[in-house]
Amino acid sequence: MKALVINCSPVKTGATAEIVKIISSCLSSKYETKSVCIDDYHFSFCRGCRRCHTTARCIQHDDVDLLMEEFEKADVIVSVAPSYWADVPGQFKAFIDRCTPWCNTHEPYAHLSPGKKGYAVVLRTGPNMKECERLISTIEHFYGHLEIECSGHIGFVSVEYKEDVIPHAEEIKAFTSQI
């Protein structure tokens, strides 16, 4: 079985990347694991043309297709996202928007293989867990429209730098052991 762990932040060396590293390391004992960073993919914003509503394909051909190929290969998908102004980073939101051809909001749509499980791991610099819940909701809403089963989530507050992840390492490992 395969796991995909996505750093939904454009920062490849920060706290989000540190969490991705811990999760990937833990999952590699049970799954063939691949980690990716949203910033490694280049794609444009959704143009809102709605052609995908009738063709199940986007008129833009860029790295969204490559990242969706990784989704297709994976049995387990873990999205790790920091809060950018109370929601997921813009790069990840742009990716979500571009996934409309795969979303079950219209017919036809480009189905992913069934049986995938999705997990959300979120973090923010402030102390309020309510903001984490908003990010979890965004990711789980996305998974739902891709027909990926929402199978678990966890949020962390007061995490700004990768050093701030250290006190949460055991909690991250415990969460990951349930995947």
pLDDT digits over 35-86, tens only?
999 999 999 999 999 999 999 999 999 999 999 999 999 999 999 999 999 9
How many Cα atoms are found within 13 Å in the side-chain-facing hemisphere of 84?
13
| CB 165 within 8 Å of CB 159 | yes
Residue written as token pair 């995938």: 116
| pTM, rounded to two decimals | 0.97
Neighbours of 47 (CB within 10 A): 12
Encode the chain (179 residues) as per-residue pLDDT tens digits: 999 999 999 999 999 999 999 999 999 999 999 999 999 999 999 999 999 999 999 999 999 999 999 999 999 999 999 999 999 999 999 999 999 999 999 999 999 999 999 999 999 999 999 999 999 999 999 999 999 999 999 999 999 999 999 999 999 999 999 99
Strands ordered across the beta sheet of 2-7: 32-37, 2-7, 76-82, 117-123, 149-156
**Residue 8's closest CA among 126, 122, 156?**
122
Q: What is the predicted pLDDT for the residue at 162?
A: 95
Task: Show the tokens assigned to 97.
Answer: 């928007």
- The pLDDT score that the predictor gives to residue 24 is 98
Closest residue by Cα to residue 86 from 123, 38, 142, 134 = 134
Structural domain count, the chain? 1
Reference 18, options 143, 132, 173, 174; nearest CA is 173
The whole domain housing 15 covers: 2-177
Here the CATH number for the domain that contains residue 102 is 3.40.50.360
Handedness of CA 133, 145, 54, 111 (dihedral sign): positive
